[in-house]
């Protein structure tokens, strides 16, 4: 049981310490006085959990931290736990055991990542966690009679929560996930899962049916192939016999074409030769006449060029004389006889030499200029002659080059070309009539081809080419049919091969999936029978729990002053019914008095607490149990609680904490331990009454 609780700056309590004894302790006071804070103090101190929105909301306004210290005893062992919280939300906790004067630390802190948890140690000692304590030991406002007023289905859900059957839903979902993951793994490995067995069986039947159709078809196509191959071989044999004649026919046509083509080429060649000869004759015509003039023209040109050179030389001499005379004129203009004295030697002279007289010199110059003009006319005449001779010389050279280019040395060579041209012109009419006999006379090569043609015509005489073409056509048709048959055979063989592979794969998959299906069936049976809340396991657990609760509740009722001697709980389909028994009859819940209903409700709650192992703490908290009760039922509740107070002094040592704002109902009760809660400016104030 809890022996004391101390609250420091926790919720509305600045500094509150309460001592508890076994039996019934009542907290009275108005709403907001801090009564329900004791419940949060107990759950926070033991498990670090509460009904408030956040941990920071647990600290009293204006304080930097709060704490809860709880002393409790279990099986004659004393323990103390203190849990603190600051305004940053940081928590600290320590659990100790008190042995005489010695304090032994059991656990401290909440380092769950290292496997260290003070809360877990407390849960081991008490035998309950927070959730189970809420169900087994804490009856919230208005919930006292809910257990007997609840609908049978709601009672069943409450029972499922108490004994943990609702956790089977989680296990069931886990099983579904395991089943799903297992199927996905199988599908990943095999390509299918157990739900595909029927589909695979249908596919197997389909492939087996296809095999039944394909195998005879393969045999039929194989026979057709063999027959076509034999027929083709026979026809090809016939064709091979006449194959040389076919080749000779082809050679014959080829040789005829060759002869015709060669003759055409010969005609073209002869025509080209005729054209070439005619061009030679035309180009060389008259060339011999100019070649004979070459030496004469060379002599004439030489003489003319000599005359031109002489004329040019004489003109240059006369030009030089004119220049000299002009210089003398310049000098004569300076030489004047004065006093019959020579201007040069000063000797006595009568007159100057004519060569120093200006008039004489000018006459000489005029005479020379006339002669120069006469020479220039003569030079023009010689140049004109030279041009004529050079032109004739070029014609002579061109004629010589033409004859040399055509390799014609004399008139006899040219006459020979003219005669050859006439002969070739006479051949052309014989070739153009396309007669092979005439064409064979062109040269030795045409004669050889003509002889080959004659031989081939003799060897292929009477050959029926139409017949051999028909045989070839027949071979082609049969070959096409054989190719089509080969394609069909290939498709059939591929289909058979694929079908055989599929049959092996499907049979293997079916074999594996049958084992998988057995395993999945076992998993489904486990899920249905063990993890289903309506399965045999859950039903057995509920049956055991209902019997345990009923037996324990009956024990409590036997200690209370009621006519109810025994309670039985039974499950029917999805409902749980409550049946009360007196010594001689079955009592309906509707027929019970208010006090009797409260007694039944408390007995069932105690039975549930016992089922959950609440005997380790032997604690029951009733928060505002009088809510929604009329005056008569409130008195009945007090009467029952008074009896429980007496019972608590027995060996069971059950501890009850009653929270209520109806203080007046306990005025005449036998409950002695009552705390009154009041609100003050410094927080909740608690007074022992």
Reported as a single tens digit per residue, the pLDDT across 428-468 is 655 555 577 777 777 788 888 888 888 888 877 877 777 77
Whether residue 340 is predicted with pLDDT greater than 70 in this model: the reply is no
- 3-state DSSP helix/strand/coil percent for the chain, to nearest 5? 65, 15, 20
Residue 539 binned pLDDT confidence (cut-offs 50, 70, 90): confident
pLDDT band at residue 478 using 50, 70 and 90 as cut-offs: very high
pLDDT for res 68: 93
Please say if the pLDDT value at position 614 is more than 60: no
Radius of gyration (Cα) for the chain, nearest Å?
73
Q: How sure is the predictor about 223, in pLDDT bands with cuts at 50, 70 and 90?
A: very high
For the cut 80, the answer to whether the pLDDT of residue 7 exceeds it is: yes
Phi, psi of 327 (to 5 degrees): -70, -40
Report the pLDDT value the prediction gives residue 69, as an integer from 0 to 100. Answer: 95
How are beta strands 673-680 and 23-29 bridged, if at all?
parallel
| In the chain, where the domains are located | 287-408
Select, from the ranges 67-81, 297-311, 403-417, 527-541, the one with the highest average predicted confidence (pLDDT): 67-81
pLDDT of residue 5: 93
Q: Is the pLDDT of residue 67 over 90?
A: yes
Please say if the pLDDT value at position 352 is more than 60: no
70 pLDDT more than 90: yes
Answer for the pair 326, 365: CB distance below 8 angstroms, yes or no: yes
Q: Is 561 exposed, middle or buried (0-12, 13-18, 19+ CB in 10 A)?
A: exposed
Q: Is a pLDDT exceeding 90 seen at residue 654?
A: no
Percent of the chain with pLDDT over 70: 84
Lowest mean pLDDT among 52-66, 96-110, 153-167: 153-167
CA distance 31 to 46: 25
Show Cβ contacts of residue 84 under 8 Å, excluding neighbours closer than 6 positions: 65, 66, 67, 91, 92, 93
Distances in Å between the Cα of 339 and the Cα atoms of 15, 276, 343, 349, 351 are: 179, 96, 10, 9, 11
91-99: strand order across its sheet: 13-19, 2-10, 65-74, 77-86, 91-99, 102-108
The yes/no answer on whether domain 287-408 falls in CATH 1.10.287 is yes
Stretch 51-57: mean pLDDT: 81
13 phi, psi to nearest 5 deg: -100, 120
Indicate left, alpha or beta for 200 from its phi (over 0: left) and psi (-120 to 50: alpha).
alpha
| pLDDT tens, residue by residue, 194-213 | 888 899 899 999 999 999 99
pLDDT band at 558 (very low <50, low <70, confident <90, very high): confident
Least confident of 37-41, 141-145, 600-604: 141-145
- pLDDT at site 649: 45
Q: Which of 350-359, 481-490, 521-530 has the weakest average pLDDT?
A: 350-359
Query: 98 CB contacts (<8 Å, ≥6 apart)?
Result: 71, 78, 79, 80, 104
Q: Mean pLDDT over all residues of the chain?
A: 81
Residue whose token pair is 């059950």: 654
Residue 633 has pLDDT above 70, yes or no: no
Q: Is it the case that residue 345 has pLDDT exceeding 80?
A: no
Residues 6+ apart with CB under 8 A from 320: none
Angle between helices 594-611 and 152-163 (to 10 degrees): 30
CA 197, CA 199: separation in Å to the nearest integer? 5
**How confident is the model at residue 492, as a pLDDT?**
92
Give the pLDDT score at 498.
92
pLDDT value, residue 163? 66
Angle at Cα 571 formed by Cα 567 and Cα 576, nearest 5°? 70
Q: Residue 476: is its pLDDT beyond 80?
A: yes
pTM above 0.85, yes or no: no
533 or 48, greater pLDDT: 48
pLDDT at 143: 61
State how far the Cα of 553 lies from the Cα of 566, in Å rounded to an integer.
8
In the predicted structure, residue 650 carries a pLDDT above the cut 50: no
Q: What is the pLDDT of residues 366-409, one digit of tens each?
A: 888 898 898 888 888 988 988 988 888 888 888 888 888 888 88
């Amino acid at each position: 049981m809890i022996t004391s609780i101390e609250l420091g700056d926790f919720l509305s309590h600045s500094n509150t310490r309460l001592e508890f004894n076994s039996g019934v302790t009542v907290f009275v006071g108005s709403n907001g006085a801090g009564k329900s804070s004791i419940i949060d103090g107990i759950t926070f101190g033991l498990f670090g959990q509460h009904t408030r929105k956040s941990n920071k909301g647990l600290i009293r306004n204006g304080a930097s931290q709060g704490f809860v210290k709880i002393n409790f005893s279990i099986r004659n062992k004393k323990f103390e736990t203190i849990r603190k919280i600051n305004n940053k939300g940081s928590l600290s906790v320590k659990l100790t055991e008190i042995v005489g004067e010695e304090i032994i630390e059991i656990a401290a802190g909440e380092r769950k990542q290292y496997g260290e948890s003070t809360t877990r140690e407390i849960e081991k000692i008490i035998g309950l966690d927070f959730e189970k304590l809420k169900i087994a030991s804490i009856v919230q406002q208005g919930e006292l009679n809910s257990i007997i007023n609840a609908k049978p289905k709601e009672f069943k859900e409450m029972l499922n929560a108490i004994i943990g059957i609702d956790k089977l839903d989680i296990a069931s979902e886990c099983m579904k996930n395991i089943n799903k993951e297992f199927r996905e793994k199988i599908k990943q490995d095999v390509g299918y899962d157990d739900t595909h067995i029927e589909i695979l069986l249908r596919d197997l039947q389909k492939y087996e049916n296809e095999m039944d159709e394909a195998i005879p078809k393969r045999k039929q196509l194989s026979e057709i192939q063999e027959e076509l191959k034999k027929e083709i071989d026979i026809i090809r044999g016939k064709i091979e016999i006449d194959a040389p004649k076919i080749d000779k026919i082809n050679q014959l046509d080829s040789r005829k074409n060759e002869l015709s083509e060669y003759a055409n080429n010969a005609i073209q060649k002869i025509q080209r030769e005729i054209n070439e000869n005619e061009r030679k004759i035309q180009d060389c015509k008259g060339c011999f006449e100019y070649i004979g003039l070459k030496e004469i023209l060379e002599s004439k040109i030489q003489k003319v060029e000599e005359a031109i050179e002489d004329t040019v030389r004489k003109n240059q001499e006369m030009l030089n004389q004119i220049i000299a005379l002009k210089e003398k004129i310049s000098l004569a203009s300076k030489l004047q006889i004065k006093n019959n004295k020579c201007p040069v030697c000063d000797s006595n002279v009568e007159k100057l030499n004519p060569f120093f007289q200006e008039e004489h010199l000018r006459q000489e110059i005029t005479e020379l200029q006339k002669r120069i003009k006469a020479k220039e006319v003569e030079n023009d005449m010689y140049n004109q002659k030279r041009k004529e001779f050079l032109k004739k010389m070029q014609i002579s050279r061109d004629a010589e080059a033409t004859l040399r280019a055509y390799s014609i040395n004399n008139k006899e060579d040219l006459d020979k070309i003219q005669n050859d041209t006439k002969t070739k012109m006479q051949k052309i009419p014989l070739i153009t009539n396309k007669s092979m006999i005439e064409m064979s006379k062109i040269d030795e090569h045409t004669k050889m081809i003509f002889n080959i043609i004659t031989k081939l015509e003799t060897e292929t005489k009477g050959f029926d080419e139409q017949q051999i073409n028909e045989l070839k056509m027949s071979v082609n048709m049969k070959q096409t049919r054989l190719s089509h048959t080969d394609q069909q055979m290939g498709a059939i063989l591929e289909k058979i091969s694929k079908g055989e592979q599929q049959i092996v794969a499907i049979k293997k998959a079916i074999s594996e999936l049958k084992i998988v299906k057995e395993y999945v069936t076992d998993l489904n049976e486990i899920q249905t029978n063990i993890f289903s809340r309506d399965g045999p396991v859950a039903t057995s657990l509920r049956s055991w729990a209902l019997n345990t609760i009923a037996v324990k509740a009956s024990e409590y009722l036997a200690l209370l002053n009621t006519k109810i001697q025994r309670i039985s709980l039974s499950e029917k389909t999805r409902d749980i019914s409550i049946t009360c028994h007196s010594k001689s009859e079955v009592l309906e819940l509707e027929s019970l008095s208010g006090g009797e209903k409260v007694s039944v409700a408390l007995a069932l709650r105690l039975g549930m607490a016992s089922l959950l192992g609440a005997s380790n703490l032997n604690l029951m908290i009733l928060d505002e149990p009088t809510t929604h009760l009329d005056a008569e039922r409130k008195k009945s509740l007090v009467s029952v609680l008074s009896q429980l107070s007496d019972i608590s002094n027995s060996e069971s040592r059950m501890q009850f904490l009653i929270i209520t704002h109806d203080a007046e109902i306990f005025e005449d009760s036998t409950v002695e331990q009552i705390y009154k809660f009041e609100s003050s400016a410094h927080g909740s104030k608690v007074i022992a009454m």
